[in-house]
């Protein structure tokens, strides 16, 4: 697996999500940008889906065995900051039932730069549970 290409694809999708979020539904470009985003997501799942679903399956077994694995694109955040990093908020990624944090809202987020999966719990916990190597 070419981790650099995977990382670049992640950044591209997140940037497109960010572009779409800045447009109103009335914007003439909205439908075109939305279609571009869906095409990028489909291509990403075709190219990296099997690889990432295996990794996500392993992470789910360790962290949240009672939660189903979704398509990798479901785990992506919505924005990157000016430095190309993700500022993880409590609403990004996929909601999971994390065994180590019962009765807490937990999420898994697939982030770039470097490519990794972060367990986010509330406002305090940001635990790296996998890193691409």
- Residues 33-49 have a mean pLDDT of 97
Token digits of residue 129: 């549970």
Tell whether the model's pLDDT for residue 90 goes beyond 80. Answer: no
Q: Identify the residue whose tokens are 């571009």.
A: 36
Q: pTM of the prediction?
A: 0.92
Mean pLDDT, rounded, for 60-80: 95
Q: At 130, give phi and psi (nearest 5°).
A: -165, 145
Number of domains in the chain: 1
What is the pLDDT, as a whole number, of residue 87? Answer: 86
Q: What is the pLDDT of residue 89?
A: 79
Cα distance between residue 34 and residue 48, in whole Å: 21
Residue 120 neighbours by CB under 8 Å, 6+ apart: 88, 90, 92, 93, 106, 107, 108, 109, 126
Structural domain including 92 reads 3-131
Residues in the chain: 133
Give the pLDDT confidence score for residue 32 in this predicted structure: 96
């Amino acid at each position: 697996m070419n981790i650099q290409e995977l990382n670049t694809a992640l950044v591209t999708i997140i940037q497109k999500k960010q572009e779409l979020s800045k447009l109103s539904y009335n914007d003439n470009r909205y439908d075109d940008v939305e279609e571009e985003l869906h095409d990028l997501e489909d291509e990403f799942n075709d190219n990296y889906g099997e690889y990432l679903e295996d990794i996500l399956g392993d992470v789910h077994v360790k962290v949240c065995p009672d939660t189903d694995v979704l398509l990798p694109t479901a785990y992506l955040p919505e924005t990157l900051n000016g430095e190309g990093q993700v500022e993880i908020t409590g609403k990004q990624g996929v909601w999971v039932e994390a065994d180590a944090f019962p009765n807490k809202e937990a999420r898994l987020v697939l982030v770039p730069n470097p490519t990794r999966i972060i367990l986010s719990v509330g406002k305090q916990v940001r635990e790296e549970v996998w890193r691409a190597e």
